[in-house]
Amino acid sequence: MPYDSIVCVKQVPDTANITAEAMKEDGTVNRAALPAIFNPEDLHALEAALEIRDLYGGTVTAVSMGPPKAADVLRECLYRGADRVILLTDRRAAASDTLATSYILCQAIRTIGRFDFVFCGRQAIDGDTAQVGPQCAEKLGITQITYLEQLVHLDGQVVQVRRNVGHGWEIVEAKLPVLITVIQSANKPRPAAAKRVMRYKRARAEAELLAELQRERPEASNEELQEQLGRRAAELKSRGLLIEQWDLDDIHADLSRCGLAGSPTKVLRVQAIVLTKEGYTEIPATEEGIRQLVRELVVDRTLG
Amino acid sequence: MIEPNRQGEVWVFAEQEDGSLHDVALELCGKARELADRLGVKMAAVLPGWKVEELASRLTAQGADKVYLVDDPRLAHFQTATYARVLCTLIDRHRPQIVIYGATPLGRDLAPRVASAMRAGMTADCTDLQIGDVTDPRTKVLHRNLLLQIRPAFGGNIIATIVNYERWPQMATVREGVMPLLPADHSRRGDVIREHVELDEALLALKLIKRHVEPRRVNLKGARVIVAGGGGVGSRENFRLIHELAGVVGGAVGASRAAVDSGYIGKEHQIGQTGTTVRPALYIAVGISGAVQHRAGMEESAKIVAINTDPNAPIFSVAHYGIVGDLSKVVPMMIKALKERK
């Protein structure tokens, strides 16, 4: 039987590979200078959904919450095989903590409607919290299965999953629908398909079209921009290249549960880590130097 | 959520598996005790499970004034829904001001589910917890004795202090090994309070089919000396040098995430924010560039020796001794020097 999956994906700054360009003079990281990438574990979540569709039929819908630029990861989803993608973008969603984010995603999932699976990456590399998946599951009122390693069995409305429990694994069985968070060892994400890249590389969300228009015609009036935007969007839509875009009204979100207002946790202060080079004893990479180091470690009783 | 309750207790979720307490639960008791003393309130552990009553005395010895015991056969095996129901029910019933959980795979599965159901705040993977007075910069209201939840973010490139002004309880997870395990005091006495929580069948949505738990073979936390290799080691074969050096010095083998991801060694050896946090007497970092995620897991080591070809590698910022050089030459020299010592 066919299964419908929804995948939550996020565009994140590549915090794992700090480039020299992103390193400021004072030894802190300029976050804005980091390249934006597809959150690594979300690629595995997408792959898990695509594998189910390839085996059993059904659909894969990817949804991403973020600024207009987050449409990049949605195009990537299209390249790799997603059937439908939705950009969830709204300034009023800014500064959402994990609780508010999960509420917004949950409203989007409800708006999409029918589903058998929701897949999320275990965590995003900008915050590393791993909270949004379980919080979405709670809000949807469905079973959560974290740390998917392998889909063992799927038959009718029952799924068996092997999940990593840190120092081992367990196989659990649950009735659909379920929300599953996925870790890197679960699968090997397929690359983008060249044909799909050719087909979807011009796919755009309205927010992107507007930004493009504003760049092209900085002097245009608002009416002119809106009129142009409507024309371009309609043209893309007729070719199946308009990325669906929703705001908080489209998903009937209660604004008191979104953004700063909906976030119980507040960032009080942020302190940049300063990397210094000073403060250590340099040992020459010679036999004598290293012998001296070992002697010192013995003398101060570090080595017994 | 519950309203701020300044007389509320400080709680620790006492994670146990098959009747044995997780180390992190005992570590957190020490921190919770400190927070509770600062606030002048009681410290309690919440212990759900089946036939786990005898674990209560260990929690008391680590500082708990009370242990809320929920003993039920349906709690024998962890399930998110049942355990979350236990936590939510007890939080509603007793209105604690702080609840902390170990940031274990289980804790990170459970805690956000509880926070979502309570519509309360939750901060993941804190590396420090403090009490402090905070003025909300937007409303200018002064909040006394808030829990300051301190954690690395953005791949560890920043340290953020998070607070929760009014949607309590203030909740956080803390990684294993971050808080020191305090010596047990077996003369301490505490109350064991049996709690009943309604668990309907609908909560038992998961069926356990099979379970395979590996014994913890790598005792990184208990090691006096750790020799850790990183991506710079270059291959699984070269990683033998790390094992050899560890053998000579009588230490355990650790690894950075880069080395684990490259398949040089198993994940159980990983040190850092997404691995084990260690504080040995001596830490030798070989070919580890020292991303903040890694440094967060080892910078408390008493002595750190870093070996790297790149003199600008961030690992040197936490090192006591630095050797700039090719590890394939430096490590054999070190092995030789250590053997000569004996």
More confident site: A273 or A80: A80
CB contact under 8 A, A172 and B207: yes
Q: Which residues of B touch A125 (CB under 8 A)?
A: 155
CB contact under 8 A, B249 and A175: no
Tell me if B98 is assigned to some domain. yes
Burial of B215 (0-12, 13-18, 19+ CB in 10 A): exposed
What are A129-165's pLDDT values in tens digits?
Answer: 999 999 999 999 999 999 999 999 999 999 999 999 9
Q: Where residue B300 sits, what CATH number does that domain have?
A: 3.40.50.1220
Tell me if B145 is assigned to some domain. yes
Pairing of strands A117-121, A3-9: parallel
pLDDT of residue B267: 85
pLDDT of residue A275: 56
CB contact under 8 A, A171 and B167: no
Domain co-membership, B236 together with B320: yes
Beta bridge partners of A57: none
Virtual CA dihedral for B45, B47, B51, B57, nearest 10 degrees?
-10
Q: Which residues of A touch B84 (CB under 8 A)?
A: 138
Average pLDDT over residues B51-77: 97
pLDDT of residue A65: 97
Domain co-membership, B144 together with B269: no
CB contact under 8 A, A125 and B80: no
Q: Where residue B130 sits, what CATH number does that domain have?
A: 3.40.50.620
N residues, chain B:
342
Pairing of strands A158-164, A204-205: unpaired
Alpha carbon of residue A302 to chain centroid: 44
Residues 6 or more apart in contact with residue B242 via CB below 8 angstroms: B227, B228, B229, B233, B253, B255, B286, B331
More confident site: A28 or B171: B171
Q: Which of A165, A260, A292 to mutate to test the interface with B (most CBs of B within 10 A)?
A: A165
Nearest to A42 by CA among A160, A140, A126: A126
Tell me if B219 is assigned to some domain. no
Domain co-membership, B143 together with B24: yes
Tell me if B301 is assigned to some domain. yes
Contact (CB, 8 A) for A173 and A138: no
CA distance B133 to A116: 47
Domain co-membership, B48 together with B163: yes
pLDDT of residue A274: 64
What is the full DSSP assignment across B20-57? EE-HHHHHHHHHHHHHHHHHT--EEEEEEESS-GGGHH
Domain co-membership, B33 together with B150: yes
DSSP-assigned letter for residue A257 = G
CA distance B44 to B63: 8
Virtual CA dihedral for B88, B93, B96, B101, nearest 10 degrees?
-30
Burial of A183 (0-12, 13-18, 19+ CB in 10 A): buried
Residues 6 or more apart in contact with residue A256 via CB below 8 angstroms: A262
Contact (CB, 8 A) for B14 and B21: yes
Backbone φ and ψ of A78, nearest 5° = -65, -40
Which of B155, B173, B203 delimits the end of a domain?
A: B203
The label of the residue with tokens 């371009």 reads A232
pLDDT of residue B67: 98
List B residues 249-288 in contact with A (Cβ-Cβ < 8 A): 249-250, 261, 268, 273-274, 281-282
Tell me the whole-structure pTM to 2 decimals: 0.82
Domain co-membership, B303 together with B333: yes
Domain co-membership, B54 together with B141: yes
pLDDT of residue A271: 83
CB contact under 8 A, A290 and B316: no
Backbone φ and ψ of A144, nearest 5° = -110, 140
pLDDT exceeds cutoff 90 at A26: no
- A139 sits in which H/E element: helix A132-140
CB contact under 8 A, B116 and A172: no
CB contact under 8 A, B324 and A282: yes
- B233 sits in which H/E element: none
Residues 6 or more apart in contact with residue A55 via CB below 8 angstroms: none
- Across chain B, mean pLDDT equals 92
CA distance A140 to A178: 10
DSSP-assigned letter for residue B270 = B
Burial of A231 (0-12, 13-18, 19+ CB in 10 A): exposed
Q: Which residues of A touch B80 (CB under 8 A)?
A: 134, 143-144, 146
pLDDT exceeds cutoff 60 at A84: yes
pLDDT exceeds cutoff 90 at A2: yes
Pairing of strands A168-175, B207-213: antiparallel
pLDDT of residue A277: 45
Domain co-membership, B250 together with B308: yes
Domain co-membership, B29 together with B88: yes
What are B134-148's pLDDT values in tens digits?
Answer: 999 999 999 999 999
Domain co-membership, B198 together with B237: no
Residue of B nearest to A136 (CA): B116
Average pLDDT over residues B250-255: 89
Helices (H), chain A: 40-56, 71-80, 98-112, 132-140, 194-200, 206-216, 222-238, 287-299
Average pLDDT over residues B215-240: 86
Pairing of strands B20-21, B16-17: antiparallel
Nearest to A164 by CA among A150, A178, A176: A150
Instruction: State the total domains in chain B.
Output: 2
The label of the residue with tokens 């003025």 reads B135
Domain co-membership, B239 together with B174: no
Residue of A nearest to B154 (CA): A126
Average pLDDT over residues B96-106: 96
CA distance B56 to B67: 6
Structure tokens at B185: 């005091």
DSSP-assigned letter for residue B119 = T
Structure tokens at B312: 């600008």
Partner-chain residue, chosen from B215, B225, B316, that has the shortest CB–CB distance to A280: B316
Backbone φ and ψ of B5, nearest 5° = -130, 95
CA distance B177 to B186: 22
CA distance B46 to B65: 11
CA distance B340 to B323: 20
Beta bridge partners of A11: A38
List B residues 26-55 in contact with A (Cβ-Cβ < 8 A): none
> Does the CB of B196 have a partner CB in chain A at under 8 Å?
no
Tell me if B1 is assigned to some domain. no
DSSP-assigned letter for residue A41 = H
Domains of chain A and any CATH numbers: 3-203+241-257 (3.40.50.620)
ipTM: 0.89
pLDDT exceeds cutoff 80 at A16: no
Partner-chain residue, chosen from B112, B153, B206, that has the shortest CB–CB distance to A143: B206
CB contact under 8 A, A99 and B154: no
The label of the residue with tokens 């309070």 reads B193
Contact (CB, 8 A) for A179 and A144: yes
How crowded is the C-beta side of B211, counted as CA atoms within 13 Å? Answer: 11
Tell me if B316 is assigned to some domain. yes
The label of the residue with tokens 């679960």 reads A186
Q: Which of A170, A268, A292 to mutate to test the interface with B (most CBs of B within 10 A)?
A: A268
- The H helix count followed by the E strand count for chain A is 8, 14
Range of the domain at B305: 225-341
CB contact under 8 A, A172 and B333: no
SS3 content of chain B, % helix, strand, coil (to 5): 30, 30, 40
Give the distance from residue B188's alpha carbon to the nearest chain A alpha carbon, in angstroms: 32
pLDDT exceeds cutoff 70 at A276: no
Structure tokens at B110: 């459970």
Q: Which residues of A touch B320 (CB under 8 A)?
A: 280-281
Q: Which residues of A touch B207 (CB under 8 A)?
A: 172-174
What is the full DSSP assignment across B115-133? HHHHT---EEEESEEEEEE
Contact (CB, 8 A) for B199 and B82: yes
pLDDT of residue B178: 77
Domain co-membership, B193 together with B253: no
